[in-house]
Amino acid sequence: MTGLLTGAALQIVFSQARLFVMPSYHEGLPIALLEALSYSLPVIVSDIAPNKEIGLAQECYFQVKNIEVLTHALMTRSDLKPQDYSMFLNRYDWYKIATQTSDVYHLALGISCEK
């Protein structure tokens, strides 16, 4: 629909959205979902393993390929207020992940990681 969006255009779309829906059949790490969570958007996403790994409430998920369940979720979703996802997003903090990765390399090389 919009094509590829980045930067300010992407920020505008996320900041103006009321709901994020991702009916993916396949994902790796669902970066778009994490971005939606960072904007506190209510979400409805397919129940594929990478999405489920985020650990959201069950009502955020629908059975992949099940259009009726997705339709029902869209029609009945009433919590279209900003959500607090901080406990989920903390696991995906890029600075924290980079520091942990660096620590692993330092440990493997026998270099002290004292801060």
How is residue 20 written in tokens? 């994020």
Q: How much of the chain exceeds pLDDT 90, in percent?
A: 70
pLDDT tens digits, 27-57: 888 999 999 999 999 999 999 999 999 999 9
Virtual torsion, Cα 48, 36, 29, 53, nearest 10 deg:
-50
pTM exceeding the 0.85 threshold for the entire prediction = no
What pLDDT is recorded for position 108?
Answer: 92
